[in-house]
Each structure stands twice: as C-alpha cells, then as structure tokens.
Amino acid sequence: MRYISTRGQAPVRDFSGVLLAGLAEDGGLYMPQSWPHFSADELRAMRGLPYPDLAARVMRDFVGDCIDEATLLRLCRESYANFGSPAVVPLIQLGPNLWTQELFHGPTLAFKDMALQLVGRLFDHVLSQRDERVTIVGATSGDTGSAAIEACAGRERVDIVILHPEGRTSEVQRRQMTSVLAANVKNLAVAGTFDDCQDLVKAMFADVPFRSEVHLSAVNSINWARILGQIPYYVAGALALGAPDCEIDFAVPTGNFGNVLAAYAAKRIGVPIGRLVVASNRNDILARFLAHNDMSAKGVEPSLSPSMDIQVSSNFERLLYELLDRDAAKTAATMVEFRATGKMPISHEAWQKATALFVGYRMGDDETLSAIKALHASSGYLADPHTIIGIEAARALGREGVPIIAEATAHPAKFPDAIMAATGIHPPLPAHLADLYEREERYTCVPAEIEVIEAEVRALVSRNAA
Ligand SMILES: *Cc1c(COP(=O)(O)O)cnc(C)c1O
C-alpha cells in the first residue's frame, strides 16, 4: 500500500514512512492511494473474531509489506491485552435499535488509547527494523498527552516529552501524565496556556538543526496510523449487529474529525454503514457546515466536553480531498484560502456529497447535563459529557428500523465534576487507577521559553542514548 499527500507535493510513502513522518512536507495529510475492499463474505468470516484478531485482519492491507502478518497480530494482541473489558470495545444496548460502544477501557480511560496503544508499539517495531530512535514531543490540554505517554512509556526506541499548561489541566488529567515514572518520559509543566505549549512544540519542529539532532516526531491525530487504529471498532460494531446483511448507522462525538473519519474509512472498505452523525458541542463549525455549507471558524468557547472544543478540525482535510474527487491542487487551494480568510469555500456539489454521508448534531452545556441526568435516571447508565452528546445525536437522528451505535469516547470517571453536577454521583475510577491520587508524580516546571524546553529535551535524549 502506498500513501499520498492530500496536497500532492510530498513524497509517496509506504505505511512505515507515513507512520514516522506524520504530517506531509507540503502541509497535507497522508491518505491511502486506494481503499482496500472487503467482500460481504470476507466480512462475514470476521464475525466472532476476538477484537485484536479482527483489528489485525482489517489493518493488513493498509500496512502492506511493511509489517508481516504474524507481527501485526502480535502487536494488536499486546495493544489490547490490558484493556478493562474482555470484549475490548463492548456494545451496550440503551433502547430499541440504539447501542453505545464503549471505547474507554484502555489505560487512560478515553478512546485515544485505541489507536495510541498500537501506534506506540508500531513505532518501536519500525524503529528497531531501521535501528533508529525518535523523540516524540507534543502539547496537551489533557486527554491526548496521557494517552501518548501511556503508549510510549518504557518503549525502547522512543523518548517522549509532553508539555502541559501548568495548573490548567484537571487533577485526574495531570496525574495520569505525571505519575508515569518511566525513564523515557518527561512531563514539562509550562508557565502559560495550552496555546503557548502548542507554539513551543511548533517552534521545536521549525528549529531544523534541533529537529534533526534529536529526531523529532509526533503522534498527533493527523498521523494516518491514528486513523487506521480506529477503523476496526466500526467494523466490529457493525458485524455484531448484523452487517454486512443490514445497514448500520453511527453517531460520533467529534472534535478533530479523526474518529468519524475512521468510520467513513470503514464504509469505504465495504462495511454497509448508512448514516454518520457528527455530534458537536457549542463549538459547532461542523454542524453549521453540514446544515448550510457554512464552514467558518469562530473563537473556541470552553464547554463541558473539552475534547470537542475545536475551531478547525484538522482531519477534515482528508474528507475534503475525497469530496473533491482527490484533486490535490483544489484541496491545497481550498485549505490555503481557509487559512487566509477563516472561511472554507466548498462548491454546492461537494457539499451535497458531504451531506449524503454525514449529518450534524449540536448540543449545549445545559442540555448535556440534563441528558446525563435523564439517561442515568431511566437506565442507570452513566455517560460522560462527550459520550452523552453522541447518544442524544443517535436518538435524534437514528432511522426507523436501522440499528445505530453511539461511540462512547470517555469513561465517566474522567469527568467527575460534570457527572457530579448532573447526577450527584461521584463516579469511581476503575481498579487500575483507584490509587491515582496517592501516586508519586514527577514533572518539571519550566518557563514558556524555547531554549529552556529544548535543553530539557536534549537532557532526556542524551541520558537515554547513553
Ligand atoms: C479526542 C476526543 C474526542 C474527539 O475525537 P476526534 O477524533 O478529535 O474527533 C471526543 N471525545 C473524547 C473523550 C476525546 O478524548
């Protein structure tokens, strides 16, 4: 399998190449040159497979010759071995033809673990084939940092440095990062905001001598391997409810458009997925786009579902490329204009293609709390403030006679304040994190200065290279 950039000006790469490269050199995102396809019989043959085996089967053609089948299967089994559910991604029925699929049984209690547990292992494997090391740097406002740290802790060929804004993450989120004491992990608490952290990461990548000295890399959600690691659970959920012999719809709490893009990919490889509901909080750029072709960026407003607080969904470019029939020049021009004006010009024809695939849904904070409360009162089920938006979207936009699955993207204990406000219940952490508040923490407080941060990265790298 070959991968090409959505902007058409970067080298064509194989799977290992796009894994290590992340963003393409032309500013575009990597996409498979063509979509693999599973026939209905091939899909039926996957029914009942344990999740890791199904995942390896779904990913095989995307990975191509880069990793042999037995190794891919082993990496998948290792990735999901420590999940808190034997099904890995269990389906829970909430109503007639309405299910939720719990993606939060990984080590950090959010769906980011589904891809990142695998991506950390893929990095190690590919780097040892090449006898190389990398240094992963990233900025986080919470969820992604902890999932990336858990994925990389103790890996032999990777060092990881995560910047978080000092005092501006929740205590659960901070402790999930800072209580990982592996020698290849460094947490930097930056005196500044999340935007400062992000700017510092960008500055490190822009410092070309530094970048090559420490072999900088990233695992953010524009990395194709992150999308790939999210396709299998759509296949698994659909097969469990009768696909390929009936259509299945999905509702997905959406921020950067990575998760719902994986659902689109599942459809492209042959799973009969009908409607994809894109669920948003008050930061509703995607809902506005789908309702009236209005893709205009506004300022981000904080909400109860912070992982969906976005202004621009970085993975949308991959869908745009598909909507424009893979015309890279048009995609590049559209993205450049969006950057310049804050408004994405999309033709009526391309917009109609989008609305044939996706439908948008939006929910504010007050409704989010009342929906958490109502669901708990009627069923005993506790949904976190991201998941509940997907569940309500599925209720509102599900179709008569068609099963719909709402993706549960975080464990309720990850957002105890919202659950407490809605229900008066303090959701307990699962057993493996029950002592989180007693664990030793390790992090370094630093000013928001690039020289200081780079010196911290160098110190970690030279210690571990020795
Ligand atoms: C990251 C995240 C999302 C948004 O997912 P995208 O792939 O960015 O659209 C939704 N819910 C939770 C809990 C998340 O951590």
Whether 61 has a pLDDT exceeding 80, the answer reads yes
pLDDT for 299 equals 85
Whether 199 has a pLDDT exceeding 90, the answer reads no
Predicted confidence band at 218 (pLDDT cuts at 50, 70, 90)?
Answer: confident
Whether 466 has a pLDDT exceeding 80, the answer reads no
Site to probe by mutation for ligand 1, drawn from 101, 224, 409 as the one with most ligand atoms within 8 Å of Cβ, is 409
In which domain, by residue range, is 410 found? 85-108+226-423
Q: Where are the alpha helices (DSSP H) in 303-347?
A: 316-323, 328-341
211 found inside a domain: no
pLDDT for 464 equals 87
**Angle 272-79-250 from CA coordinates, rounded to 5°:** 25
CA distances, 298 to each of 283, 343, 365 (Å): 8, 10, 18
Three-class DSSP category at 97: coil
216 found inside a domain: no
> Once rounded to an integer, what is the mean pLDDT over residues 2-29?
94
Whether 183 has a pLDDT exceeding 90, the answer reads yes
Which of the residues are catalytic? Answer: 112
Site to probe by mutation for ligand 1, drawn from 111, 221, 231 as the one with most ligand atoms within 8 Å of Cβ, is 111
- The average confidence (pLDDT) of the chain is 95
Task: Report residue 320 CA to chain centroid gap.
Answer: 18
Quick check: CB of 83 below 6 Å from ligand 1?
no
CA of 62 from ligand 1 middle (Å) equals 23
Three-class DSSP category at 290: helix
> What's the total number of domains in the chain?
1
pLDDT for 198 equals 85
pLDDT for 108 equals 95
> Once rounded to an integer, what is the mean pLDDT over residues 341-345?
95
* In contact, 428 and 434? CB cutoff 8 Å: yes
Residue nearest to atom 1 of ligand 1 (CA): 307
CA of 181 from ligand 1 middle (Å) equals 26
Whether 452 has a pLDDT exceeding 90, the answer reads yes
Task: Report residue 349 CA to chain centroid gap.
Answer: 29
Which numbered atom of ligand 1 lies nearest the CA of 230?
7
114 found inside a domain: no
Residue nearest to atom 14 of ligand 1 (CA): 307
Question: Using CA atoms, how far apart are residues 263 and 251, in angstroms rounded to an integer?
Answer: 10
Residue nearest to atom 11 of ligand 1 (CA): 409
Whether 219 has a pLDDT exceeding 90, the answer reads no
Output b/e per residue, 385-403; b: 16+ Cβ within 10 A: bbbbbbbbbbbebbeeeeb
CA of 255 from ligand 1 middle (Å) equals 5
Question: Using CA atoms, how far apart are residues 10 and 328, in angstroms rounded to an integer?
Answer: 11
Residue 296: left if φ>0, alpha if ψ -120 to 50, beta else—which one? beta
Quick check: CB of 258 below 6 Å from ligand 1?
yes
Instruction: Report the run of H or E that residue 91 belongs to, with start and end.
Output: strand 91-95
Whether 22 has a pLDDT exceeding 90, the answer reads no
Q: What is the pLDDT of residues 398-419, one digit of tens each?
A: 999 999 999 999 999 999 999 9
Residue nearest to atom 8 of ligand 1 (CA): 256
pLDDT for 175 equals 94
199 found inside a domain: no
Residue type for position 336: V
242 found inside a domain: yes
204 found inside a domain: no
Predicted confidence band at 252 (pLDDT cuts at 50, 70, 90)?
Answer: very high
Predicted confidence band at 143 (pLDDT cuts at 50, 70, 90)?
Answer: confident
CA distances, 255 to each of 280, 314, 390, 416, 429 (Å): 7, 9, 12, 20, 25
* In contact, 305 and 386? CB cutoff 8 Å: yes
Residue type for position 414: K
Quick check: CB of 253 below 6 Å from ligand 1?
yes
Whether 138 has a pLDDT exceeding 80, the answer reads yes
Predicted confidence band at 281 (pLDDT cuts at 50, 70, 90)?
Answer: very high
Q: What is the pLDDT of residues 362-372, one digit of tens each?
A: 999 999 999 99
Quick check: CB of 229 below 6 Å from ligand 1?
no
Site to probe by mutation for ligand 1, drawn from 143, 283, 307, 387 as the one with most ligand atoms within 8 Å of Cβ, is 307
pLDDT for 202 equals 86
pLDDT for 169 equals 84
Residue nearest to atom 4 of ligand 1 (CA): 255
pLDDT for 310 equals 84
Quick check: CB of 259 below 6 Å from ligand 1?
yes
For residue 77, give every residue at least 6 positions away whose Cβ sits within 8 Å of its Cβ, in sequence order, or none: 52, 53
CATH number at residue 383: 3.40.50.1100
Question: Using CA atoms, how far apart are residues 111 and 105, in angstroms rounded to an integer?
Answer: 8
The better pLDDT of the pair 339, 189 is held by 189
381 found inside a domain: yes
338 found inside a domain: yes
